[in-house]
Amino acid sequence: MDRNVYRSTDEPFYLDTENNGDGNKTTTSLPLESSEDGLIFHISVSAIVVLMLLTLLFNAVVITTIISCAELRKKRVNVFILNLAVGDLTLVFVTAATDTLSWVFGEGLLGNVACKFARYSQAVAVAFTVLLLTAMSVDRYQVRYQVFYTLFTM
């Protein structure tokens, strides 16, 4: 992918098509201030992709472990952890993937309907994760309160 580097960032995202005789060659250009900003851009995108892959790997291990062991599925905490792993995967791949795509390729890549659906999905994924963490906190509080109450009422 060929990126032209500009001195000012006032120029919008554009798609530049040039004909070299063999056919059409399309190059995508993003406005950047300097080559150092281009390097930062590539490092940022690479870091996000690596984090997404690590999230996929480790959450898949957690999900596989909990689903495959019957004794782990019986505990309430592990069910919360399983749901948290699913929510984490949803959050990362809905939010990070769509934001990275729009950051790399520019706005309007997904289209009007898909863009609205992606924003809605991001809000649902964030709400799901926050409410699940809240439910886990309430559950842990109830367990500790029950233990505390049992110890001091004997």
- Region of 52 (left: φ > 0; alpha: ψ -120 to 50; beta: rest) is alpha
Say what the pTM is.
Answer: 0.64
Instruction: Please compute the mean of the pLDDT values over residues 45-64 and round it to a whole number.
Output: 93
To which residue do tokens 């596989």 refer? 64
pLDDT tens per residue, range 78-131: 999 999 999 999 888 888 888 888 778 776 677 788 888 888 988 998 999 999
Q: Are 126 and 91 in contact (CB under 8 A)?
A: yes
CA distances from 57 to 54, 69, 73, 83, 87 (A): 5, 18, 20, 16, 14
Instruction: Calculate mean pLDDT across residues 1-27.
Output: 52
Q: Residue 56 above 90 pLDDT?
A: yes
